[in-house]
Structure 1
Amino acid sequence: MSDQNQPVTPSCSATPVTPACPVTSTEQIPLNVSETAIVSVPVTPTIKVPVVLAEPTLQIVVESDITLSPPATEIKRVVKNVFLEQVKLVPVSFTRIDGTDFFEVNRAKLFVSGFIRKNIEYASNSCNAPLQDRIADVAFNGFADLTTFLTRPKLAFGQTNTANFLNEKNQIVPRLDKFFFQNLVKYNEQPFGELVAANFFELDFSPVMASPEGTFSTLREKIVLDLTVKVLQTQQIKLNTGATQQVPKLPEISFDC
């Protein structure tokens, strides 16, 4: 019988593919993993950490006019964020800490400034026009009176003294060209702020009422912003109870001579 009628059996061996861009690689060896023993040592550490002084919610009220170009026929969406440029604490009343030259702050003014970033999406009066986008930064600034603190700020004041001298040749007149100065400078941790939350209540409208298919080029907005900030100061604190120091128990080293 002729071999032409026999079925062709495909070869089981595939042609190897040679990598076009080979690089040198090393197979990694699995490593053993074991827990490190920990020894707890009771301690009363003194730490220096940021401490929350106050966490007030400030109500900020602003009004602004925003120009829209091209004119709008309908506002679709408004997305808002708040950016703080300043959170500064100015103390105005103090109480000395007994036995020290440090003072606790009883009352302070909190200065806050920043801006509300608004992203306004709106439609023009064209039937198939793309949505328009307008970004506006609405600035605000103000201050609040802080009288309640979670932890009071602490400050130390410097001191400057001056000694004057009499004229050596005429004991009834002073010398204006000779002085002794003493300056004591104490450096304090600066209170600082953090942004916590912003709750917006807003009314947007055209100052001139437009018809249903008409357009308007000015958007007037009245915003009430409840802004929550955290005021902190780095302070030194001693932990008296409940603290343990975690010391890893590593293989011991012999110090024998």
Structure 2
Amino acid sequence: MDKEKSCINFNETATVGDCENTVATPIVTPSGPRIIRVPVELAQIDVSTNLVANIKFPDPVLEIKDIKKRLKIVQCRLLLPARTNLNFEDRTLPLFLKGFVRKNIQYATPCPNSSGKCVSSEIRSLTVDVPFECVTNVLVNDVQLPNVNTRSEYDFFRAQELGKGFPEKDELLSSDLSQFHQVSTQHYNQLPFCELIRSEITEWDEAIDRRPLPGNAPFEEGTFHEIVEKMFIQFRVKILQNQQVRITALP
């Protein structure tokens, strides 16, 4: 058999046609009170911060054509204290945030043989990550605080003979040092997590080393290698925690 003809060519044999469907009856929980575990919203906040960075280009830049930006969060951690008498509380807790802004800068750089009144250029791009890190205090509602692990030791009473040099009726009354007894408890608590809802970035980029083009180039044309950028970042995060919620299932 020809090896080239032994494999299926989906472009030739596969077809796309109409599919039929019918409404399926879902399997639901019978009516009555139930307990489910769902993500519960603890807080939804708008965070703002400022960034300043110097960016150097590997080529002389005639002009910036476009900048595409995307906010990325790599850490969003709500710092929880140990549980007190209540399991759920409303309190202000620190939220640690860490991330960066990914920037793809498209720019025009003059061609090596460009001269005279006409300036030829090539389009290139540079991708950089501008990091940020901050902490903010957040009022969270109905947060389930973690239960603390416990470890307890206990002993058993033991009477032992004192040996030579002591009256026969006297005994050593204490615990047994040759034995060790302990009870330990571990709680596997639910850690709060975050979702990024939206972001808005306002930036201002300015060249700091722009020089005119040499030769007979138009007087307003010039190139630079370094810019200073200032960014104002606003983003919305939702803080959630998996909790058990009591509901009533309808028939």
Relative distance call for 1:123 and 1:36 in structure 2 (3 A) is: closer
For 1:116, the equivalent position in structure 2 comes to 101
Structure index of larger Rg: 1
1:80 aligns to 2:69 (yes or no): yes
Aligned to 2:56: 67
Separation of aligned partners in 2, 1:188 and 1:85: 22
Residue-by-residue CA offset, 1:45-95 (whole Å, 9 max, x unaligned): 211111111111111211111111211121121110011111111124755
One-letter code aligned to 1:73: L
Identity fraction in percent: 27
Match of 1:182 in 2: 183
How large is the RMSD of aligned CA atoms in angstroms?
3.6
Please report how far the alpha carbon of residue 218 of structure 1 lies from its aligned counterpart in structure 2 after TM superposition: 0.8
Shift of 1:197: 1.0
Distance 1:178 1:39 in 2: 54
Corresponding residue number in structure 1 for 2:240: 232
Aligned-residue offset at 1:33: 5.8
Any idea what the Cα deviations from partners look like across 1:10-49, whole Å, max 9, x if unmatched? xxxxxxxxxxxx98xxxx9x99968869999642221111
Distance change in 2, residues 1:32/1:48 (3 Å): closer
The match for 2:150 is 159
- For residues 1-257 of structure 1, what are the structure 2 equivalents within 5 Å? 42-92=31-81, 95-97=84-86, 102=87, 104=89, 106-126=91-111, 127-146=119-138, 148-163=139-154, 179-211=180-212, 212-240=220-248, 243-245=249-251
1:222/1:180 CA distance change after superposition, 3 Å = same
Q: TM-score, normalised by structure 2?
A: 0.70
Would you say how many aligned residue pairs link Structure 1 and Structure 2? Answer: 213
More deviation in 207-216 or 157-166? 157-166
Alignment partners' CA distance in 1, 2:131 and 2:23: 57
Which runs of 5 or more residues in structure 2 are unaligned?
Answer: 1-11, 112-118, 163-170, 213-219
* CA distance, structure 2, for counterparts of residue 31 and residue 58 of structure 1: 48
> 3-state SS of the aligned residue for 2:209?
coil
> Take 2:63 and 2:20, find their aligned partners in 1: how far apart are those partners?
65
- Where structure 1 has 5 or more consecutive residues not aligned to the other structure, the ranges are 1-21, 246-257
Q: Give the TM-score of the pair, scaled to structure 1.
A: 0.69
Three-state SS of the structure 2 residue aligned to 1:110 is strand
